[in-house]
Structure 1
Amino acid sequence: MKSLTIQDQNQLTEILAIVRSVSWGATEILQSYYQGKANQGDLDINEDKKDGPVTAADLATNHYILEKLQHSFSTEQFGYLSEETHQGTDPIPQDWVWIIDPLDGTRDFIDKTGEYAVHIALAYQGRPVVAVVAVPESSKIYFAAKGQGTFVETKQGEIKPIHVSERNSIEELYFVASRTHRDQRFQKLIESLPFKGVNYVGSVGCKISTILEQRSDVYISLSGKSAPKDWDFAAPELILTEAGGKFTYFNGEPVQYNRGDVRQWGGIMASNGQCHEMLCQRATQTLAEIDQK
């Protein structure tokens, strides 16, 4: 590929077409494992992995994605930051970096909830500009390029634009949360916000897809003893913001990726954008009160 520039929308569209194809291939691999049809047989679960269980499905999908992307995008111009191959603590030197989670929601994959996803994002100088989130069990992918909006594509090839809800008071909003991963501090925070209801969904990609589908409006990440990683957020962020939502740290600043430390410490607010600043302020104030006690 010729030298890529952030201003070239046609190039971003061409890149996105390739990534969409790769994402569909990745969903087929994951589904073959999920349904027990893969040649390798049952899930090869390694519970000793520091950051959670890893399966043969993670590794096979990761290998496929990297092989396909590196065939089209040279490692000279493009860096690669993947959950399954990440090593070291230095930022990747290239301006253009692929940020990949081949299987977001491994625990949900193992537990057969169906709420797992594939995240592939291309970041330029630490900010996502192309993204796909594939949700295999719904047979959909959500894709976006910076400045071009977000679209949903079905396995049958139907493509349509998608946009977040317009619900505009906290009391009308639906919060989406994990069934687990909530420490006492986070539980107190979400209980302090008067949401209309709560949806429990696995995988960050699946959570954000419920905001695109207007079933939910708000997702909050709050680090505790551990923190989410770059590959959890880069692709979900862009599909949300290009669909009209907002995705920031609690202080309103944009989330930065490829900083060396891949962990995203602190608080991150993702929403339909209607009450975003108010939610950030209330979250910051509530946490300050909780921490003083």
Structure 2
Amino acid sequence: MDFSEDDSVDAVTASFADTPDPRLREVMDSLVRHLHGFLREVRPSLAEWERGIEFLTAIGQKCDEHRQEFILFSDVLGASMLVETMEAARQSGGASGATGEESDATASTVLGPFHVVRSPERALGDSIDSVGTGEPCLIEGSVSTPDGTPVPGARIDVWQADDHGFYDVQVPDAQPLGNGRGLFTADDEGRFWFRSIVPAHYPIPTDGPVGALLTATKRHPYRPAHVHFIVEAPGHVPVTTHVFVAGSAYLDSDAVFAVKQSLVRDFAPVDDPDAAARHGLPTPFRRARFDVVLQPASS
């Protein structure tokens, strides 16, 4: 049978008819339908299609052990946040509301392209900042279930940019590997706390094909100041999330669409020498509280 525009979808989906995995066949059939529909709508020239292939190739070539350009591409298209939102709704057993917020568990956000280095294990109260620049802060909180039951021994993986907006892997000459990162274990009452610095807002990397796309579409590359969290515990649904710094620039226009109001926290100034001494911090310092709620896993 001759391949034509009218029968292209049928011809290609038929080639997947013997796919043993039903989910894989479902995904491929849908991909073909939407891709061919997109092409018929946009009607790219051959030169434009080749440019698109070159763009995707460049994304792959920009990926290495310290950077994931495909995640960045997914982020700026809002795909990462859409998948996160749908997954959170699936885990909670229903559709999320119009805001994408979940009523019980802590809201999820994107992983981001820089969770590419294992966070060093640290004791509660340790500092994740080994450079010594920036405004010192204390971040504390607890891990519990929706009914308030503490989750002892929960694992809290955190990572953040420095006060100049860079992650350790971006500037290895200025930050040692592991700076701004920590893996903590909640105490018997589900509590955690650690020292850090107040992160800065920053641009996502713009020296690759995703940055070129933002420039071409006149979109800014900035993210508001935030700290990344992955919190998990046996028998519970893990959450990948952020805590955002209240008052930061770009809270209303995050380049990767990840801000949720429930995740914004005040990093309040504290001018209390006794409190500072207890936590090994100078006076004054900033303090933020971020309590995390995990859904019990379905049985």
More helix by share: 1
Which TM-score applies when normalising by structure 2? Answer: 0.28
Q: TM-score, normalised by structure 1?
A: 0.29
Highest CA radius of gyration, 1 or 2? 2
